[in-house]
Structure 1
Amino acid sequence: MNSRTVITEIAAAGALIGSYPLDWLVKKGEPYFCAPSSEPVILIHGFGGSRANLLALGAYLRLAGFDNVSHFEYPRWQSISDSAAQLGRIAEEKSGGKGVHLIGHSLGGTVARRYAAGAPKAAVRSLVTLGSPYSYGQWSPTEIGIFGDDDPIVPAPVEELVHRDAFARIVTLHEVGHLALIFHPEALRIIGTELRANRAPVSNAAAQ
């Protein structure tokens, strides 16, 4: 890990540690001042994290026009299968038939991938993972996997070895570690572009 990455990782770690007291701002079932107009976006934190870790990402998505952002929180030691099943129940409850966008950091992305792999057709509109553990032979053909080339926790995959249906696309960011992925401008740009490309069409009734 080079010195630039070390500095950005320390800054990201400080931001994450400082986010914990803000957890009360992103409670489950957060109220809306009016009915959300966009399809749901669900953010899933990494191992040992909390909803507050993705507060900045949620704020960015709201500014990008997605006003139906919520957070999925899972117990630290719960199995990936159980967490994925729990996420699925929440996704189905929130989707209203529109489908959901899933964005997961680290283990949260693995949980999202597990749910998406067995989800009903069109239930998941977008799947974006940030530094999430993977396998070269996995099946996740709609997933955008974003990695840092200086990540000591989840090294970026060697693309030549990845099965063709393991990801839809792999993006490896230069001089980026594990935690800084959450805040990296290019990662945010990719997320915004992907969600806009896959958002639900606006019905004539809703547009009037």
Structure 2
Amino acid sequence: MGALQRAVEPVGAVLHAARRPASYAGQLREALSTVITAGMWPLGFTSSDLADVGRLEELPSTVETPVLLVHGYGANKSNWLFLRRYLEQAGFARVHAFDYNPLAADIPQLAQRCAECAEQLRGRLGVERIHLVGHSLGGVIARYAVQVLGLEGVDVCITIASPHGGLRLASYGSPLAALSPLASGLQLRPDSEVMTLLRYSARALPTRFVAYYSNLDMIVPARRAMILEPELRATNILVKDHGHLSIVLSRRLAQSVVDQLGAAEGLPGYGSPVVGLPEHALGRHPVAGSAAPGSTRATG
């Protein structure tokens, strides 16, 4: 019975959401996003991790704080083309992507490399702070780098559809596969050492955590994409009617991320950051597209 419940968990959530007409459009959007993501994938091999740091110095920038983007399992930096454009238009010219191969290392090793990339980027740009944004596995890597490895200088750590509550689908693999290059996937099991460490090492940190989730995500169901450890006082934000891939191409997500980082930087017109709520009920969380407290920006 336990295995059956794990199998139907994401499907049940989607079936519940499917009672609304808007859900059909969301599923169609996810299918289209899958095609778009696959088509953009070759664009992720155009340059190395820090090849364009020099170019960033030449761009007009309102914000000195760099933003490091961390893609999901099997993806590459091409996933960030849409969000990156929004960030640069808002004045975040120092936007960079960390590329990695999840088949060549496990989550702690990938988090260590992410931390090294962030420190190298801060050093080369001569700044003290940095923002991290991760999608899916990339969000877990970013959180691990900050929370477990103690990466300093991270002002805001944003995760998008990341399995903070573990991934039930990862439980279906053989434990023997942990000895293979697939270890990073198996470490997303809810009872894995990595996920257990993230739960029990949660504590008050200077970094502000923001977790985006969706009601139509079949890979990472809504509640598993939230950061629910009260010590971290994370802000969980709903991006309604999007799937695991379409959420990255969402205009509402992009604008909300810009609003969160713009508020953190104190940019004019962005108000104050949306903060975490003491309740963790699904319906009480902010919704992407809503203005931050005191914001003068339009919603939608």
Residue 17 (1) aligns with residue 38 (2): yes
Residue 93 (1) aligns with residue 120 (2): yes
Q: How does 1:151-190 map to 2 (within 5 A)?
A: 151-157=217-223, 162-190=228-256
Normalized against structure 2, the TM-score is what?
0.61
Distance 1:194 1:58 in 2: 14
Q: 1:64 aligns with which of 77, 90, 103?
A: 90
Indicate conservation of the 8 Å contact 2:164/2:224, yes or no: no
Distance 1:188 1:155 in 2: 20
Change (3 A) 1:27 1:140: farther
Indicate conservation of the 8 Å contact 1:125/1:199, yes or no: no
Aligned to 1:148: 214
- CA shift, 1:26, in A, is 5.0
| Pairs aligned (count) | 200
Higher normalized contact order (CA 8 Å, seq sep 6+, divided by chain length): 1
- CA shift, 1:131, in A, is 0.1
Distance 1:193 1:168 in 2: 16
Q: How does 1:29-48 map to 2 (within 5 A)?
A: 29-30=51-52, 31-32=54-55, 34-35=57-58, 37=61, 38-48=64-74
Change (3 A) 1:190 1:79: same
- CA shift, 1:160, in A, is 11
Q: Which amino acid aligns with 1:191?
A: V
Question: For 1:62-87, what per-residue CA distance to the aligned partner results, in whole angstroms no more than 9, with x for missing partners?
Answer: 11110011110111222110011001
- CA shift, 1:197, in A, is 2.2
Aligned to 1:204: none
Indicate conservation of the 8 Å contact 2:145/2:151, yes or no: no
Change (3 A) 1:120 1:80: closer
Q: Which has a greater percent of strand?
A: 1
Change (3 A) 1:146 1:159: closer
Indicate conservation of the 8 Å contact 1:140/1:167, yes or no: no
Q: Which amino acid aligns with 1:187?
A: L
Change (3 A) 1:181 1:33: closer
Q: Secondary structure at the match of 1:101?
A: strand
Q: Secondary structure at the match of 1:132?
A: coil
Indicate conservation of the 8 Å contact 1:46/1:107, yes or no: yes
- CA shift, 1:24, in A, is 4.2
Distance 1:72 1:32 in 2: 16
- CA shift, 1:187, in A, is 1.3
- CA shift, 1:144, in A, is 0.5
Q: 1:110 aligns with which of 140, 163, 168?
A: 140
Question: For 1:133-170, what per-residue CA distance to the aligned partner results, in whole angstroms no more than 9, with x for missing partners?
Answer: 10394627621100011111111117999331255211
Indicate conservation of the 8 Å contact 1:64/1:192, yes or no: yes
Indicate conservation of the 8 Å contact 1:144/1:167, yes or no: no
Change (3 A) 1:98 1:200: farther
Q: Which has a greater percent of helix?
A: 2
Unaligned runs of 5+ in 1: 202-208
Identical residues among aligned pairs (%): 26
Change (3 A) 1:161 1:40: closer
Residue 127 (1) aligns with residue 157 (2): yes
Distance 1:99 1:75 in 2: 26
Indicate conservation of the 8 Å contact 2:164/2:226, yes or no: no
Change (3 A) 1:7 1:26: farther
